Every structure is written in C-alpha cells, then in structure tokens.
Amino acid sequence: MINIILADDHDVVLTGMKLLIESQQDMTVVGEGKDGHAVLEILETKIYQIYLLQI
C-alpha cells in the first residue's frame, strides 16, 4: 500500500485529488493539510511514501 499525504489550500482540489488517489487499489490518503502548520503536524505523525503538494 502506498500512503500519501496531500496538501492544498483549496477544498475542491483536495477532494478531487483524494478521490482520484483512493480509486486506485494500492494507494490511500493518510493525511490532508490546508496550510503549512497542519501539514507539518501530519508529516511528523504519519507513515507515508509520497507527499503531494499543490502550489
């Protein structure tokens, strides 16, 4: 299983990316952050292989 953390400040983008990723059998979203502080907390507490940041 590939664990992914998503970061974006737009709800629509986060929701869309999450739906696309979780439609794959071997991928799951383990965390989502809307700002830098939230993302840093998630990065410290979750086990992940990919961190996807939308700029």
Q: What is the pLDDT of residues 17-38, one digit of tens each?
A: 999 999 999 999 999 999 989 9
Secondary structure (3-state) at 4: strand
Determine, yes or no, domain membership for 38: no
Determine, yes or no, domain membership for 23: yes
Determine, yes or no, domain membership for 39: no
Q: Give the residue among 4, 16, 17, 9 at the shortest CA–CA distance from 43.
A: 4
pLDDT for res 30: 96
Determine, yes or no, domain membership for 42: no
Domain count of the fold of the chain: 1
Determine, yes or no, domain membership for 26: yes
Q: Whole domain around residue 52: which residue ranges?
A: 10-33+47-55
Band (pLDDT 50/70/90 cuts) for residue 53 is confident
Determine, yes or no, domain membership for 28: yes
Q: Give the residue among 54, 55, 26 at the shortest CA–CA distance from 5.
A: 54
Determine, yes or no, domain membership for 27: yes
